[in-house]
Structure 1
Amino acid sequence: MTFQGGGPLDTSTISGGGGGGGMGRIAVGGGAGLIFTLIALFFGINPGSITGGTTTSDSMSSQGSSEIDQHIQSCTIEKANTDDVCRIVATVNSVNKVWEEQLPGYTKPQTKIFSGSVNTGCGPATSDTGPFYCPADQTIYIDPSFFTMLRRMGGSNGALAQEYVIAHEYGHHVENLTGVLSKGNRMGAQGPKSGSVRIELQADCLAGVWAYHSDKGPDAMLEPLTQDQIADVVQTAKAIGDDTIQGANSNPEGWTHGSAQQRVRWFGIGYKSGDPRQCDTFATNDL
């Protein structure tokens, strides 16, 4: 279990979408295509212009938006401990709660749980794109089938590891509110010290800040986190580092998200401090 207590969840900012393939396949290519496409989305580029084709979703390809909406509305805190969709909903509740407390003026983004393909303010996307935040419509998009892909990439199947992925995307929303996304955009999309890498590492750090606060206080939604759960996050952060995904021939000049070691380090900075001010990846070259 991860979530404690019981009862309904707030679904006011969460909706369903998609329902099958067909919007333009995003080639994954051992993970490198996924990383490239995520950056395209973060910087407002239409990912459908990168490649063409079709795709399918592993776990929800038969569900249309109305069915996903019904699934979302049925979610409770209890279900969040066993159901991927409800875990997304509960994590959204927890992350919003933490950032409302930590960031003055915080406004909630929308979250769309989709299947197969979806239209966004940043262009059409598919399940192969992976979870992403679109600043144009201030919405996080996620197909739960990504968690299956993540396991295949070497990530953990643990609940907190999935929640870390969602909290990372919410970190991008925080960056959008604070102006970091546009700042990073001006600093380039590739390279070991590019704006893109700084954005991604900061989002990892902000996910760590959420984890620090998520189990604290009388109204905390999460049970006290364990070292095994944090180890699941570390395993996942390592699996999605640029050097891990690109393999032995990884060239830092092509990095967009940072190395496995960097991703783990910055999550740890956020988790150990609980202070978003410690997450300023733009104030240092020691990434």
Structure 2
Amino acid sequence: MRWEFGRKSSNVEDRRGGGVSGPLVGGGIGTIVLAVIVALLGGDPGAVLQQGQEQVPSDRTSSQSPRTQSTAANDRMADFVSVVLADTEDTWGNLFRQNGENYVEPKLVLFSNSVQSACGSANSAVGPFYCPADQKVYIDLSFYQDLKYKLNAPGDFAQAYVIAHEVGHHVQNLMGISSKVRTLQRQASRAEANQLSVRLELQADCFAGIWAHHANRSRQILEAGDIEEALNAASSIGDDRLQSQSTGRVVPDSFTHGSSAQRVRWFKQGIQTGDPAQCNTFAAANP
């Protein structure tokens, strides 16, 4: 991915090296599965972030610990996410203006170990998430080590896809989609609420593809293999694959993000069409 000469966003808030007190995420689910599920949850992660009061122990090896990463490597990664964020600002700013609307840019918060958001307290095990209450994307950069080594999804464009997906949830929030989904979920059964969550996540995947389409057309960011990196990342975090790896069985009614095939299909829909109107997962009979 060609990113080194891109502009950096002014909407990055660096809280690395800090910490928070208060409830941290816990519960009876494997750390890496929880990390991925919440990482791409979006919408309103507050309910998940407040589930438990015990800190999830890290299962990273010492070589993958944020504390042992070199300052230079961390700074380079911080520059990378800042450039990706700026690129999403340019893309969605233009698309909103074309519709006569104003795009309110989200903030991106860099943290290490733990963080306090308007949606609750979280530690790094939750991975990247978007909080609609403060319109901020949160990420501990050590998540990218998990993405590469634990989920077998390496590559800078795979990392950019994660940011673009979370920004996709911000777009949903601005459009009023997220609040409508939460209202419907409160009136629905557990299975129906899960299905609404799946459609919300798949639309964020499609919106990530929208960004990639326009960013490449305007700024030629893609290099050989980049799209495959993003598709591999989307496939690696499908509910069916995560459940199979974690428990050895797949329960479709419990899906909250979509299968690997669904996530790949909707990212492709976005990157191929470049049209947000083609991302209406809620109108699709079989998303």
The TM-score with structure 1 as length reference comes to: 0.83
Residue aligning to 2:282: 282
Residue aligning to 1:135: 132
Return the letter of the residue paired with 2:54. G
User: Aligned-pair distance for 1:49?
Assistant: 3.1
Return the letter of the residue paired with 1:60. P
Return the letter of the residue paired with 1:42. D
Residue aligning to 2:89: 96
Matches within 5 A, 1:61-76: 61=67
Residue aligning to 2:228: 231
Distance in 2, Cα, partners of 1:71 & 1:249: 38
* Per-residue CA distance 1:52-92 (angstroms, 9 max, x = gap): 125568453489xxxx9x999xx7xxxxxxx2211111100
Matches within 5 A, 1:45-60: 45=47, 47-53=49-55, 55=57, 58-60=64-66
Residue aligning to 2:13: 15
Residue aligning to 2:117: 120
Deviates more, 1:202-211 or 1:248-257: 248-257
Return the letter of the residue paired with 1:9. K
Q: Given that residues 160 and 229 in structure 1 are in contact (C-alpha distance below 8 angstroms), is that contact kept between their aligned partners in structure 2?
A: yes
Distance in 1, Cα, partners of 2:143 & 2:208: 18
Return the letter of the residue paired with 1:278. Q
Distance in 2, Cα, partners of 1:163 & 1:139: 16
Is the alpha carbon distance of 1:236 and 1:112 closer, same or farther for their aligned partners in structure 2, counting shifts above 3 Å? Answer: same
CA RMSD of aligned residues (A): 2.8
Distance in 1, Cα, partners of 2:147 & 2:162: 10
Q: What secondary structure, in the 3-state scheme, does the structure 1 residue paired with 2:134 have? A: coil
* Per-residue CA distance 1:92-134 (angstroms, 9 max, x = gap): 0101100000123211011101100000000001110010000
Q: Given that residues 150 and 156 in structure 1 are in contact (C-alpha distance below 8 angstroms), is that contact kept between their aligned partners in structure 2?
A: yes
* Unmatched 5+ stretches in structure 2: none
Residue aligning to 1:266: 266
* Per-residue CA distance 1:2-45 (angstroms, 9 max, x = gap): 22536x623x2111125358652446516442355454872532
Residue aligning to 2:44: 42
Match of 1:87 among 80, 93, 102: 80
Alignment partner of 1:145 is 2:142: yes
Distance in 2, Cα, partners of 1:143 & 1:154: 16
The TM-score with structure 2 as length reference comes to: 0.83
Number of equivalenced pairs: 267
Distance in 2, Cα, partners of 1:31 & 1:177: 30
Query: Which structure shows the bigger proportion of residues in helix conformation?
Result: 2
Return the letter of the residue paired with 2:44. F
Is the alpha carbon distance of 1:24 and 1:185 closer, same or farther for their aligned partners in structure 2, counting shifts above 3 Å? Answer: same
Distance in 1, Cα, partners of 2:20 & 2:142: 13
User: Aligned-pair distance for 1:285?
Assistant: 2.3
Distance in 2, Cα, partners of 1:5 & 1:254: 43
Q: Given that residues 33 and 242 in structure 2 are in contact (C-alpha distance below 8 angstroms), is that contact kept between their aligned partners in structure 1?
A: yes
